[in-house]
Amino acid sequence: MHLFVVRHGETDHNVQNRYAGSTDVPLNATGLLQAEQLAEMLKGSSFDLIITSPLLRARKTAEIINSWLSLPLVVVNEFTERNVGFYEGLTQEEVKSQYPELYARRCTRQPDDAPTGGETYRESDVRVSTALEELRAAYPNKRVLLVCHSRVARIIHKFYNGLSYDEMHEFSLGNCEVAEYTA
């Protein structure tokens, strides 16, 4: 499988440095424009299908891209963003001031820790990696465009490059940026 990973377009949460996680926030005007620009850039590319997270910001990005490509569009729940519990909707500064001990633990970056009510990186890694294995089995010789989220993109990058959890955090995919993987 030849996989192209796209992070969704910009949201107000991105601009405000808020944790969105599994909260269903929409694209903002810039995000809609980014998706249109990426769609135009990809229009000459040959993909076999588009996979997307069920969250609105990823789905809308995928739909805009697909308006130029007219491909099968499949929603896969396992590619939803990591749930960060009660951090969702808060800025990093709000978390730092309201929960200084938890913030100091850097729980959102640890493999087996998470804010209360959230998913650990290891839990989300298992979910995403299992879905990737299923995609590779289902589409072995296909070119797949996957629209997802920043933490999911990090896990995918870790998966394809055999990285540790610490190394994984060095990778970052910007809004409507594309990363490419083979195998």
Active-site residues, by number, are 8, 81
Which residues lie closer than 8 Å to 182 by C-beta, 6 or more apart?
Answer: 1, 2, 3
Phi, psi of 79 (to 5 degrees): -95, 15
CB 35 within 8 A of CB 56: no
Residue 72 neighbours by CB distance under 10 Å: 10
Measured CA to CA, the distance from residue 81 to residue 61 in angstroms comes to 15
By CB atoms closer than 10 A (0-12, 13-18, 19+), residue 26 is middle
Measured CA to CA, the distance from residue 153 to residue 174 in angstroms comes to 10
By CB atoms closer than 10 A (0-12, 13-18, 19+), residue 17 is exposed
How does DSSP classify residue 76?
Answer: -
